[in-house]
A and B are shown apart, each in its own frame.
Chain A
């Protein structure tokens, strides 16, 4: 079973700072990875797909990168509404098995 490990578990930063979140997979399955944002009390929202493509309506300060087993989500300058939990996700098997990372909580410092 492929495991997605996100780091750090919690990231404490101030508005205006740059945030870099990591997602590592236990095996190389593909270079496809998605990132989601979940604000308190809300459903997850798709931010990034195909590792680096922003979803519709997502601000340019969000960017994704990486391939193989290491992927990153970068928020260039944090806005107050960006403090939330972020999850990475891959389709890792056949028959399909959808796997999420355990999440990174981005909190205000």
Chain B
């Protein structure tokens, strides 16, 4: 059974870079996309972007200029970097596995537990 374990720095100052990693155990990166989603305190879910095992990425246009998602197939991990963070980037960040059999048939079936990231001076 695939499990996702995620980690990263939880407290950042404005202008710093957010860095999170998600480790995939019990399965391979191949055949799926792997996504990051965030949830500001008390609010709903926002898709950040995704990557596959070949390194092909898609990003939310509203965040694209500051976001980089990368993959390390040797470690079965994928990572998120958000540069120049501001207070509005404060959120719980989740990693998730994407099932995407056809262009518009897309859903996330395995989720990490989430990492709380706070941006404060």
Contacts and interface: CB of A to CB of B under 8 A. Distances in A.
A binds B: yes
Interface stretch (A15-23, A66-74, A86-94): A86-94
B107 A46 contact: yes
Contacts of B103: 30, 91, 94
Interface residues on B, range: 20 to 34
Interface string A80-109: 000000010111101111111111000000
A49 B104 CA distance: 12
A45 B111 contact: yes
Contacts of A90: 104, 106
Interface in B85-121: 94, 99-100, 102-109, 111-114
Contacts of B105: 30, 32, 49-50, 91
B47 A99 contact: yes
B93 to A, nearest CB: 11
A90 B108 CA distance: 11
A102 B108 CA distance: 17
Nearest to B110: A46
Interface residues on A, range: 20 to 34
Contacts of A8: none
Interface of A: 29-30, 32, 34, 36, 42-46, 49-50, 55-56, 87, 89-92, 94-103
A15 to B, nearest CB: 25
Given A29-B104, A97-B60, A100-B47, 8 more contacts: A49-B107, A95-B58, A96-B50, A97-B61, A100-B45, A100-B46, A101-B44, A102-B44
